[in-house]
Amino acid sequence: MQVEYTKMFIDGSWCDSDSGETFENINAANGETIARIPLAGHSDVDRAVQAAARAQREWARWTPAERGRVLRRAAQLLRENVEEIARLESLDTGRPIQETPEADVESGAACLEYFGGIAAGIEGEYGDLSRAFYYTRREPLGVCAGIGAWNYPLQIACWKSAPALATGNAMVFKPAELTPLTATRLAAIYREAGLPDGLFNVVHGFAETGQAMTEHHGVAKVSFTGEAGTGKKVMGSAAGTLKQVTMELGGKSPLVIFADANIDEAVSAAMMANFYSQGEICTNGTRVFVDASIEEEFLERLRQRTEKLKLGDPMNPDTQVGPLISKEHMEVVLGYMEDGKASSARLVTGGERATGGELDKGAWVLPTIFAGCSDDMEIVREEIFGPVMSVLTFDDEDEVLRRANDTEYGLAAGLFTRDLTRAHRVAAALQAGVVWVNSYNVTPIEMPFGGVKGSGIGRENGHAAIEFYTQRKSVYVELEGVDCAYD
Ligand code: NAD
């Protein structure tokens, strides 16, 4: 597949880096080089920030309705190019082409459409004080830096840029070094939709490039998606210039299945919560707590369906499981599988690399289930970010809540029950930013998204995102003169 969008995009122009340095973008399915990507240094980041600052001053003067119109045009262009962009995302991430048209392109378009739609409805407050009144203005922050992870590159670029742009900010975005292509494609979409030069810039690179963004004096806010450890570094670096931060970090989320659950539905959710996108999803419900009385039945149905999953070429429409993002990441995931096998957990299925034919060239692992897990095992405590499910049993609600919450993370959680009061009671007690009841991993753009505890700060999506891309200015207006304490 010929790949077109491999440059950086700064101030409305496609460009290489000042140093001329590049890095390789590798296809995880076969190890081949897709493209060489320019590596941004400090001067490139600075150029992007300067351009963004210039463009933002003018953009903030556009009416919100005018800004919204550009975003909605961009949403339409994403949809018109869905096939091409989905292929690009599958090529770059290794995620099956079964997933990317809907989970990436359509979800990105829905995001642009949503923030384009609500832009004109963002309001301040008014307060009557009898002899005076006040109102608040929601003002943009200025230049926002977006730093993305590699699992959902286009969606992450949309989730950050759309609310930023809708509210009058500019953005400098750095996709993950492993997946640079679709954020760059998004820049072309924005340009075609009429977004003025400088408002959405894409720079490429590794930690050092990201750090140049988080340290930059011209950047007002950093919205970061990635590992919790990196998030702490980013927040520390942003603190030097007191930037605002949004942190979308990792998780080790619980999925709790009570004895009265519809078991087939619960099995479907557990599979979606662990094997979709090869398990490379931050919200995944990787700790599956099953009421001990239904464990056997649950595991048997789960095993049968899991063993039917089709691994293969991400571009084949029949493929359900593609390769992991890289060979390095595969080694990490295989390491966790070995930990699981060496523990007292029982391997139900998988537990090794998937090999044979084309699979040998890429980073495939078998969808894996461990049963009989206990809370202190490494596979149960640490984020693996691969298709590895740990099944644990419980006897009562209080016990499972205590164990489900016994983690440093708090991104998401799920529960399956037919008992209405239990559902709401447990949803309230789970320490997570998102709780799904009788479902898992559904993230409509209308619903706020983000974590608590070690999983993050701030929220993306929904009206909540507006809060994190604007600042309130309070304006007090006196109607009766200064009440002066002095003669
Ligand atoms: P990562 O933390 O390794 O990298 C994320 C991004 O940060 C990359 O663009 C990287 O180049 C950049 N970076 C690395 N060091 C940096 C530094 N010192 N300063 C600035 N930028 C730096 O994460 P990853 O491996 O790309 O992604 C996987 C992780 O992302 C998982 O932990 C997953 O749970 C998390 N994630 C979270 C969400 C969410 O919304 N909560 C969504 C997707 C992924």
Nearest to 145 by CA among 225, 257, 78, 61: 225
Distance of CA 118 to the CA centre of its chain: 21
Q: Strand runs (DSSP E) across 150-225, as ranges? A: 170-174, 200-202, 221-225
Is 282 in the active site?
yes
Q: What is the pTM of this model?
A: 0.97
Distance, CA of 274 to CA of 438 (rounded, Å): 16
Residue type at 252? Answer: K
Mutate which of 92, 151, 247 for ligand 1 pocket (most atoms within 8 A of beta carbon): 151
Q: Is 329 in the pocket of ligand 1 (CB under 6 A)?
A: no
Contact 451, 432 (CB under 8 A): yes
Which residue has its alpha carbon closest to ligand 1 atom 41? 248
Strand-pair category, 244-248 with 456-457: antiparallel
Q: Under a CB-based contact definition with an 8 Å cutoff, are residues 33 and 26 in contact? A: yes
Q: Are 390 and 379 in contact (CB under 8 A)?
A: yes
pLDDT by residue (tens digit) across 212-251? 999 999 999 999 999 999 999 999 999 999 999 999 999 9
The reported pLDDT for the residue numbered 3 is: 87
Q: Where are the alpha helices (DSSP H) in 343-445?
A: 378-381, 397-404, 420-429
Kindly state if the Cβ of 392 falls inside 6 Å of ligand 1.
no
Residue 230 Cα to ligand 1 middle (Å): 6
Beta strands 170-174 and 132-140 are: unpaired
DSSP-assigned letters across all residues of 431-447: --SEEEES--S---TTS
Give the three-state DSSP class for 319.
Answer: coil
CB neighbour list of residue 41: distance below 8 Å, 6 or more residues apart: 17, 18, 19, 21, 205, 208, 209, 212
Which tokens is 139 given?
Answer: 């003002």
Q: State the SS3 of 225-259.
A: ECCHHHHHHHHHHHHCCCCEEEEECCCCCEEEECC
DSSP at 206: S
> What backbone torsions phi and psi does residue 386 show, to the nearest 5 degrees?
-155, 180
Torsion 335-338-343-348 (CA) sign = positive
Which tens digit of pLDDT belongs to each residue from 359-412? 999 999 999 999 999 999 999 999 999 999 999 999 999 999 999 999 999 999
Beta-sheet strand order (sheet of 126-128)? 126-128, 132-140, 470-478
Q: Is 23 in the pocket of ligand 1 (CB under 6 A)?
A: no
Ligand 1 atom at minimum distance from 230 CA? 2
pLDDT at 81: 98
Alpha-carbon separation of residue 155 from 222, 245, 471 (angstroms): 17, 19, 25
Task: Give residue 222 CA to ligand 1 midpoint distance, Å.
Answer: 13
User: Which of 155, 230, 274, 385 for a ligand 1 pocket mutation test, highest count of atoms within 8 Å of Cβ?
Assistant: 230
Q: What CA–CA distance (Å, rounded) separates 8 from 58?
A: 23
CA dist 438 and 436 (Å) reads 6
Do residues 17 and 41 touch, judged by C-beta distance below 8 A? yes
Helix (H) or strand (E) holding 93: helix 82-93
Residue with tokens 């571009």: 315
361: Cα separation from own chain's centroid: 28
Please list the ranges in the chain whose pLDDT falls under 50: none
* C-alpha 385 to ligand 1 mean position (Å): 12
Please tell me the predicted confidence (pLDDT) of residue 92.
97
Question: Is 383 near ligand 1, meaning CB less than 6 Å away?
Answer: yes
The Å distance, Cα 418 to ligand 1 centre, comes to: 37
d(CA 413, CA 410): 8
Nearest-CA residue for atom 43 of ligand 1:
282
